[in-house]
Structure 1
Amino acid sequence: MIEHSLGEFEELVLLMVAAHHDEAYGVLILENLEEKLGKKINISAIHVALKRMENKGFVKSRFGGITNERGGRRKKFYAITALGKRVLDNQYALRTSIYQQIPKISFS
């Protein structure tokens, strides 16, 4: 079985793509991650992660229509693929299994 790698930042971006199913785009992902993380993120980092994940087959993209609001440019929307969802599920299972190994420690 092929092992698919997913970095921490890619995982966060992929989670946002999945959360906004088929309506996710760069700026929306950026704004949501900045809100959740409480820190500034460079839009280029979002676009690089999306491109890398599209090359891996974790997301697919489509262009929206041309709008005057965007100066005639089209918005690029992303959706998670079945492979991307399986990779997220595997990451979740792995993190959960490791977390459950933490002994019950009282810090009070």
Structure 2
Amino acid sequence: MGKHQLGEFEEVVMLTVAILTDEAYGFAIIEEMEKRLNRSVSIGALQTVLKRLEKKNYLSSEMGEATAVRGGKRKRYYHLTSAGKDILQTTKEQRLGLWNAVPSFSIKS
């Protein structure tokens, strides 16, 4: 296994960045995660994970242009790096391997 592994929240954040492509910035990431997962996400927790994923070289970011809508504030946009795409693929394969190894079972009522 590689140097880094993804935690569940890290994986969800990276997948959400992939879904949003060129529109992946803080608030949009939170909205998408909350919509898809029906769970609340704090901006603090998200910012911590985004910084950690950049440090691991799984994400890169760039500042967008200032807009009047945001009172001149700029958005930081996030993108998957090649290493980020690789770790997501590895994680997917590992999870599918585990699911495929589970014997069939039924849920009892």
TM-score (norm 1): 0.93
Find the counterpart in structure 2 of residue 3 from structure 1: 3
For residues 1-108 of structure 1, the aligned pairs below 5 Å read: 2-107=2-107
* CA distance in 1: counterparts of 2:107 and 2:91, whole angstroms: 28
User: How many residue pairs align between the two structures?
Assistant: 108
Q: Structure 1 stretches of 5 or more lacking a match?
A: none
Q: Which has the higher strand share?
A: 1
* CA distance in 1: counterparts of 2:85 and 2:47, whole angstroms: 19
Q: Which has the higher helix share?
A: 2
SS at match of 1:79: strand
Closer, same or farther: CA 5–33 of 1 in aligned 2, 3 Å: same
* CA distance in 2: counterparts of 1:106 and 1:38, whole angstroms: 25
Does the 8 A contact of 1:23 with 1:79 survive in 2?
Answer: no
Cα-Cα RMSD = 1.4
Identical positions, percent: 41
* CA distance in 2: counterparts of 1:7 and 1:33, whole angstroms: 16
Closer, same or farther: CA 61–97 of 1 in aligned 2, 3 Å: same
Cα deviation for residue 56 of structure 1 reads 0.6
Structure 1 stretches of 4+ with a deviation exceeding 4 A read none
